[in-house]
Amino acid sequence: MSKKTRVVVGLATCGIAAGGVSVMDELRREIKKRKLNVELAETGCIGYCFAEVLVEVEKAGMPKVTYGDITTKDVPELVETHLVQRKIWREKVLLIEGRKTAEADFLKRQKRIVLRNCGLIDPESMRDYMKKGGYEGLKKALTKMAPEEVRAEVLAAGLRGRGGAGFPTGQKWDFCARAEGADKYIVCNADEGDPGAFMDRSVLEGDPHAVIEGMIIGGYAIGATHGYIYCRAEYPLAVKRLRLAIREATRKRFLGKNILGSGYSLDIIVKEGAGAFVCGEETAMMASIEGSRGMPLPRPPFPANKGIWGMPTNINNVETFANVPWIIRNGARKYAAIGTGGSKGTKVFCLTGKVRRGGLAEVAMGTTLRDVIFGVGGGIKEGRNFKAVQIGGPSGGCLPAALLDTPVDYDSLPAAGAIMGSGGMVIVDDTTCMVDLAKYFLTFTQMESCGKCIPCRVGTKRMLEVLIRICEGRGVPGDIGLLERLAYDVKDASLCALGGTAPNPVLTTLRYFKDEYKAHIFDKKCPAGLCVDLVTFHIEPDKCTGCGVCVRNCPSDSITGEKKEPHVIDIETCIRCRECLRRCRFDAVYTV
């Protein structure tokens, strides 16, 4: 008997945003119309975000094929070619199982532990998860291991916190296990607030049970009585799937009272964040869980001793928890064999920005930035030049081409001025102004500063003012020194990590791209042609078709030209509003 034909559509947030639901509907209609015997299913994020919508087809006698960039218009041809004529539709092929295709490197160069099930299982099906060995780790931990053995195993694996700071997870669990309290809390930090990072969302949407299993194992290891998952409200699909997974796990007795007859009990509640970046900080998150303004507290006391409602509390990130079931199931030794001396296992990165293959990349620790960006990511879009990679979001830094051979691990990245952070990697090309990028991050941290301590509240504001001044061409000699001084003050004197790391984007751009700052301040020029106050607008005669769209929309009547002839911008009267640049369909408008 031949295996049933299966068509799977990737329906995580990116897939849905790219039109995945309509593709799914169209497939359903087309299959019904042709009366085909096909099982239509959905899965989470496959990681090939650059080629959404993704459709996978499994048919007996043919290799499994992944199609990319599918729109509703492609559906009839896809169904006709692959399902009816039994031929591979070459035009939109991304991957063919067992064969080499242009995009195969993206997956081949990865090592998937956290993303082991993402894109392979139906995230809303517990049975799918269990078929892949799900909850085996939990069974092993609860029936064959004592809590201290679980902690020792995680410590031996060398797992470090994936939320950014990189603290050894086993050690953190030990602190909390030893603390005394009537109740103990285990919390999953799913408040992925870094702009440019979405790996936690992908795991929550693609494999929610992995996180829950990791949490139960962690809860058992420290003796937690209650669990919270603090999830961003901006991730409605993740919240929905988590709640469903918790209900299913409870029904199967993996959660609740006397789990698997071990005598251990745990409940988990999903708490939705309400939008505050600072709540990614442990003490601020606990305040928010208690229903207060999410403002950080000085440490000590550490959450392990005095956390939620004054009880011992252990907080780990989504990715950290997702590693745990794998470690318990496969053993610490196998995990510790991956990675470098001080950084074990893998790290998931989100490749975004001007990279050709943007998406989820999970690589072994110690892989170089070059391998991630050029090997997995396939280099820069539109044949442009790599300029910098921004790692670690608003707390991280920008590294230049000269540092592309830096390995990604907890020691090398800080040495270069960046941080591992949560794993956002935004790649920029020569069209991005580094001063503007630093200004962007400072705008963010300044806005998100909770205002409790003065260095962060006032310091980030003063730094931002200097950056705005430089971008607007009002920079003065001495601004660079002033920025540096302020940066170190904010870094040293802030209460929590938000302020403590906020100056990093400024410090690294100053370290590696000082020339751009100088060009803004002394020559009043923006080398990337982005800062509007420092550029002039022009029209490339070869590209201009003389359609007149820019003329009609120019608020200062600065554009002239005959119909169907190249137009000209009068730079004396131009108010640099960018409207012509936005309106031109032929890319004819450029800045100098």
Partner 1 sequence: MVTKTKAEPEQASERARLDKIINKYRKQKGALIPILQEAQDSLGYLSEESLFYIAKATKRTLAQVYGVTTFFTQFRLEPIGEHLVRICHGTACHVGGAEDIDATVCGHLGLSEEGGTTDDMEFTVDKVVCVGACSLAPIMIVDGVAHGRLNADRARKVIKGYQKEK
Is residue 453 a contact point for partner 1 (CB under 8 A)?
no
Determine phi and psi for 256, rounding to 5 degrees.
Answer: 110, -150
550 binding partner 1? (CB under 8 A): no
Alpha-helical runs (H) found in 472-573: 479-493, 497-501, 504-512, 514-522, 549-553
- The rounded distance, in Å, linking the Cα atoms of 531 and 516 is 12
444 binds partner 1 (CB under 8 A): yes
Of 294, 375, 378, 423, which lies in the binding site for partner 1, with binding defined by CB under 8 A?
294
CB of 106 to partner 1, least distance (A): 12
Q: Which of 340, 428, 357 is nearest to 387 (CA)?
A: 428
Neighbours of 587 (CB within 10 A): 10
Q: How far is the CB of 276 from partner 1 (least distance, A)?
A: 5
Q: Which stretch binds partner 1 (CB under 8 A): 49-57, 104-112, 411-419, 533-541?
A: 49-57
Task: Give the CA distances from residue 353 to residues 106, 274, 403, in Å, rounded to whole numbers and listed in that order.
Answer: 16, 27, 18
> At 251, is the secondary structure helix, strand, or coil?
helix
Segment near partner 1 (CB under 8 A); pick from 124-132, 141-149, 252-260, 432-440: 432-440
Q: Between residue 221 and residue 240, which ones bind partner 1 under the rule CB under 8 A?
A: 232-236
For residue 586, state whether it binds partner 1 (rule: CB under 8 A): no
Site string for partner 1, 52-91 (x = CB under 8 A): x---------------------------------------
Which residues on adjacent β-strands are paired with residue 590? Answer: 538
d(CA 506, CA 464): 10
Interaction with partner 1 in 367-396: which residues (CB under 8 A)? 390, 393
Could you give the CA distance from residue 187 to residue 258 in angstroms, rounded to a whole number? 20
DSSP-derived secondary structure letter, 490: H
**CB closer to partner 1 out of 159 and 284:** 284
CB nearer partner 1, residue 275 or residue 341: 275
| Residue type at 327 in one-letter notation | I
Give residue 309's Cα distance to chain centre.
Answer: 31
Q: Does 585 bind partner 1 (CB under 8 A)?
A: yes
The H or E element spanning position 455 is: helix 454-471
Stretch that binds partner 1, among 136-144, 197-205, 240-248, 409-417 (CB under 8 A): 197-205
Of residues 263-282, those binding partner 1 (CB under 8 A): 271-277
Structure tokens at 469: 């001044």
Binding mask 4-43 for partner 1 (x = CB under 8 A): ---------xx-xxx-------------------------
The neighbour count for residue 451, using CB atoms within 10 Å, is 11
The phi and psi torsions of 366 (rounded to 5 degrees) equal 95, -10
Q: Is 543 in the site for partner 1 (CB under 8 A)?
A: no
Residues that bind partner 1 (CB under 8 A): 13-14, 16-18, 49-50, 52, 192-198, 201, 232-236, 271-277, 288-295, 309, 350, 352-354, 358-359, 390, 393, 424, 426, 428, 432, 437, 440-441, 444, 448, 450, 577-579, 581-583, 585
